[in-house]
Amino acid sequence: MDLPLSWARADVPGPRLRTMPLPFSRRVWVPCADIPPTWSFPRIFQDYLRPLPKGFVLQGCQENLARYITEQGGVATLTGIEGVLPLDGVDKPSLRELARRGRRWGEVVALDPTPEHRKAMRALWQATVHGSKPQLQCAFRTDFDAMVRGFALVAPSGLWLSAMTLSLMKPGYWHTELLLRRKDAPVGVMEALILGVKAHLRGEGHGWLSLGTVPFMSIADPLHPRACRPPWRATCQGRVIMRLGRWLRFSYDYQGLYRFKQKFQPIWRPLYLCGWPDLPWRILPDLSWASRHAHLVGYALFRK
């Protein structure tokens, strides 16, 4: 069974869960975790999650995980989609041409999480078009540490033009955490980076690269195929979240994120927000504040 996005398989002696108490809903959010290869999610659920006295909430649950949680008496609601690339797939010619243009400016380099590289990753983040805005936290892994892999497209001068970090969800399946591009970088550097990372992972024998989440985008919902009535039911929360996200799109360009990822022609899969024993509506302001999305909204309103 799959783990939630940003939960990584790692060489650790036991599960290490990052927990965040949420004040309004009284639930515990577990945005990321380091999980030994031999530990299954049902074991983690029984030993670590179910004993939490007020319940828990997980983001980025793929369909099989969402089904398991609902079978245990919990709730799962659709909140976005995940774009997944099969590493043996053939890239379209226009994408290869963009990558060729990007490779003129540098080469893709695998990175170790040294202090120098961590400093360079932070500097690149500040040099992106979103570097001056409040940064989302906990929605994905923002640290370049030993739990992730790093890659950068590096110019001959040593300047990082783009970079990405990956976490291992399961054998052969890597999930994109950070995806950064210098705001003045030439055309094609992101395409060159991603296709270069695909080739690198394929050469190591891996099978899949997830480009991560696009929130607020709809897709056929295999868990709740029927119409959502009445609208206050827990399984209808996803519809409300989608509408709120679209109404607040001035603060987070999820459509631009979708268009960028769509050029790689990924397989789109539904992603769920999962809670046990339930998902009270109070979870929405909790997650908005804890993830700093509320800060982005405030920043965007102030800048208008």
pLDDT digits (tens, 9 = 90+) for 164-204: 999 999 999 999 999 999 999 999 999 999 999 999 999 99
> Does residue 299 register a pLDDT over 50?
no
Q: Are residues 218 and 77 in the same domain?
A: yes
Q: What are phi and psi of 79, to 5 degrees?
A: -130, -5
Q: Are residues 227 and 291 in the same domain?
A: yes
Evaluate whether residue 97 is within a structural domain. Answer: yes
Q: Could you tell me the maximum CA-CA distance found in the chain, to the nearest angstrom?
A: 60
CA separation (Å) from 265 to 20, 121, 292? 35, 27, 30
Domains in the chain: how many in total? 2
Q: Are residues 152 and 124 in the same domain?
A: yes
Evaluate whether residue 144 is within a structural domain. Answer: yes
Q: What are phi and psi of 11, to 5 degrees?
A: -85, 75
Strand duo 56-61 + 28-35: pairing: parallel
> Does residue 251 register a pLDDT over 60?
no
Q: Are residues 137 and 201 in the same domain?
A: yes
Q: Are residues 179 and 250 in the same domain?
A: no
pTM of the entire structure?
0.86
Evaluate whether residue 1 is within a structural domain. Answer: no
Strand duo 107-111 + 75-86: pairing: unpaired
Residue 105, domain extent: 85-211
Give the domain-ending residue among 182, 211, 240. Answer: 211
Evaluate whether residue 92 is within a structural domain. Answer: yes
Query: What CATH number is attached to the domain comprising 164?
Result: 3.40.630.30
Q: What is the pLDDT of residue 216?
A: 76
User: Which is nearest to 69 in space by CA: 235, 194, 231?
Assistant: 235
Would you call 147 exposed, middle or buried from its count of C-beta atoms within 10 A (0-12, 13-18, 19+)? buried
Q: Are residues 23 and 57 in the same domain?
A: yes
CA dist., res. 237 & res. 255, Å (int) = 21
Evaluate whether residue 2 is within a structural domain. Answer: no
Q: Are residues 96 and 198 in the same domain?
A: yes
Evaluate whether residue 283 is within a structural domain. Answer: yes
Q: Are residues 172 and 56 in the same domain?
A: no
Share of the chain above pLDDT 90, in %: 66
